Amino acid sequence: MLTYLVIITTVLVITQIIRVVQNAINLKRQNKALDAQLKQIDEITNEDLKMQKEANRLIVEYIKSKRVMGIEAELSPEEAKKMVSHLKTLKGGD
């Protein structure tokens, strides 16, 4: 009976060791995948910041040109659509 208990206990300990190793391997893989995704998010964020800066620059230039010409600086709906369309073409058509 004692031999039986030793064998069962040994098998259970070995099983648990195998599970811990498998979990460690899976966590390492998930960490690599997460790091890769975070790098992509960082790249998107930098691109978005550049796009926002460019959009702000264009808007400021537009408003300044309206003021220089003595025209009110408000956008009509048509002008707003044109500006949004222009910004989309700068971004790449999204």
DSSP string, 29-80: HHHHHHHHHHHHHHHHHHHHHHHHHHHHHHHHHHHHHHHHTT---PPPHHHH
The model's pLDDT over 19-76, given as tens digits with 9 standing for 90+, comes to 999 999 999 999 999 998 888 777 777 788 888 899 888 888 887 777 655 554 566 7
pLDDT of 91 reads: 64
- Residue 39 CA to its chain's centroid (Å): 8
Amino acid code (one letter) for 78: E
Alpha carbons 31 and 27: distance in angstroms, whole number: 6
Tell me what pLDDT residue 4 has: 92
Instruction: Give the C-alpha separation, 83 to 94, whole Å.
Output: 14
Residue 79's nearest CA partner among 66, 70, 92, 64 is 66
Q: Is the pTM of this model over 0.75?
A: no
pLDDT at 7: 95
